Structure 1
Amino acid sequence: MVKALRSVLQPVLLAVGLPVVILAVWWVLTAGSTSYFNPPLRTIVGVFGDTWFSSPFGESRIAVDVVPSVLRLLSGYAVALVVGVTLGVAIGSSRVLRAYAEPVLEFFRAIPPPVMVPILMLFLGIGDTMKIVVIATGCLWPILLNTVEGVRGLDPVLRDTARAYRLGRVATVRHLVLRGASPQIVTGARQALSIGIILMVISEMFAAKDGLGFSIVQFQRSFAIPEMWSGVILLGVVGVLLSLVFRAVTNAVLGWYLGYRQSQHGGA
């Protein structure tokens, strides 16, 4: 019973331990702060609820700003995931296609995604489409490149075995290529999620009318500093929640791989 309880509590303590320590240190160091730009943490916490959850004139900021931001992030991320995996499988499976595509991929990968924001604004305006495209273009490269490397790294013996058993193209891609490259794909998807959150905020700082990034900038411009800091904290909370969801999905998708790694580690 004690061992089971320890196995449950240990991951929780490891996950929340460091954030609690950081918040405690922040609370203590700013307790006596008189700086306008660095208010005490207790002041930031005090305005957090009213800023994001109260709705005296209609919907709360959570509904008006945070939910649209997350929806745009998920939309752009989903587009990048589908396009990145599809192109990655195609490029990784063909030596000729890879030879032609790699210089182009290296060129576009070297361009920082935030640079594309003003360019895309010229063609797509300042609406949701522009923001989704910005997020998608930034998230695409880690997914695409990791998928290519994952497909290239597949054991040739497995390909020969699939060919010997006369598996069709769709079955080979589904059961061999995607499954074999899935650890690399998940690695790229994890990197892309962090990039997507950054681009979500950046895209909402340019001529936007809603969104979490828009609200943070508006608070800063109106000198509502505690509210601005509360937005930064909320952004971190959103990132943590999305990371937890991603980890749960990863454990479900890569259950076979994680079990294999664990058995190998236990055997060693």
Structure 2
Amino acid sequence: MTPRRGWERLLVRAVFVLALPALLVALWWLASDGSTNVFWPPLRTIVKTFPDVWTRERLRSDVWPSLWRLACGYLLAAVVGIALGTLIGSYRRVRAFCEPVLEFLRAVPPPVLVPVIMLFAGIGDSMKIVVIASGCVWPVLLNTVEGVRAVDPVMTETARSYGITGPARLGYLVLPAASPQIFAGLRQALSIGIILMVISEMFAASDGIGFTVVQFQRSFAIPDMWTGILVLGLLGFVLSVVFQLVERRVLGWYHGLRASTRRSR
């Protein structure tokens, strides 16, 4: 593929990614332009207020703590989910033993556990990290279990016949084969983590994006509150793009295999 061809594909992809958000912003701008409702300010007012609210100092005092808690809770959920999912998916008896408990715990909404977690973890950062991890772990765990279970039996038998067992089998066969499913769970967990980050910061917090949005709402600073919502939307978009770049990098072999399969049809 020539460099010009690559730039053309990149430009077309950028247009597809940005077209819908641009259309929605334009519709929001037009729909709210003449609004006199205090709870539905014009978008131009929100945009004008944005740089006055989200200064460098506020980004350091509110956005950075939120990102830190999200990163810690998300990484904790990823490690625990992949480790337990690999164990449960590899052994049928372990899976049969754990499945009822997993289904019960998965059905419990993580926000309901916030008061309970506060009793044991206090009201500091540890509580918020545990809340985020408690919600993010399930999509990672369940997708890992399914990915490990779906490993090709032929490849498993081939590895066994060549004496590839233990950590070598785990690192060269099981985890690579299950990695598409694992990344699907990680993608789901990312959106759940952002939601739980905000919810956890609404309980007994002194900083963070969720805390700041609630403070704006309680003081009837409605345009400022809407700027916080915009920050959350932009944060989710940026994290999604970063995740896609990492996924493309790690699963390059998988996407290349799918592309070659489509071309051969």
* 2:230 equivalent to 1:233: yes
Residue of structure 2 in register with 1:106 after alignment: 103
One-letter code aligned to 2:39: F
* Matched pairs, number: 263
Q: Aligned partners of 1:7 and 1:256: how far apart in 2?
A: 20
Of the three residues 102, 111, 127, the one matched with 2:124 is: 127
**CA drift at 1:29:** 0.9
The two structures, once aligned, show a CA RMSD in angstroms of 1.0
Change (3 A) 1:85 1:2: closer
**CA drift at 1:3:** 4.3
One-letter code aligned to 2:22: V
Of the three residues 83, 99, 115, the one matched with 2:112 is: 115
- Superimposed CA distance per residue, residues 20-76 of structure 1 (whole angstroms, 9 cap, x where no aligned partner): 11111111111111111100000000010110115xxxxx11110001101100100
What are the equivalent positions in structure 2 for 1:51-200 lying under 5 Å apart?
Answer: 51-53=53-55, 60-200=57-197
Residue of structure 1 in register with 2:21 after alignment: 19
Q: Aligned partners of 1:179 and 1:80: how far apart in 2?
A: 19
Q: Which runs of 5+ in 1 are unaligned?
A: 55-59
One-letter code aligned to 1:164: S
**CA drift at 1:207:** 1.0
Q: Aligned partners of 1:39 and 1:25: how far apart in 2?
A: 14
Residue of structure 1 in register with 2:256 after alignment: 259
Residue of structure 1 in register with 2:39 after alignment: 37
**CA drift at 1:186:** 0.5
**CA drift at 1:6:** 2.5
Q: Aligned partners of 1:105 and 1:231: how far apart in 2?
A: 35
Change (3 A) 1:177 1:2: closer
Residue of structure 1 in register with 2:247 after alignment: 250
One-letter code aligned to 1:21: L
The ranges of structure 1 where at least 4 consecutive aligned residues each deviate by more than 2 angstroms after the TM superposition are 1-6
Q: Which runs of 5+ in 2 are unaligned?
A: none
**CA drift at 1:122:** 1.1
Q: Aligned partners of 2:4 and 2:121: how far apart in 1?
A: 59
- Superimposed CA distance per residue, residues 135-170 of structure 1 (whole angstroms, 9 cap, x where no aligned partner): 001000000000000001111111111111111310
1:34 counterpart SS class: coil
One-letter code aligned to 1:197: I
Residue of structure 2 in register with 1:9 after alignment: 11
- What TM-score, normalized by structure 1, do the two folds share? 0.96
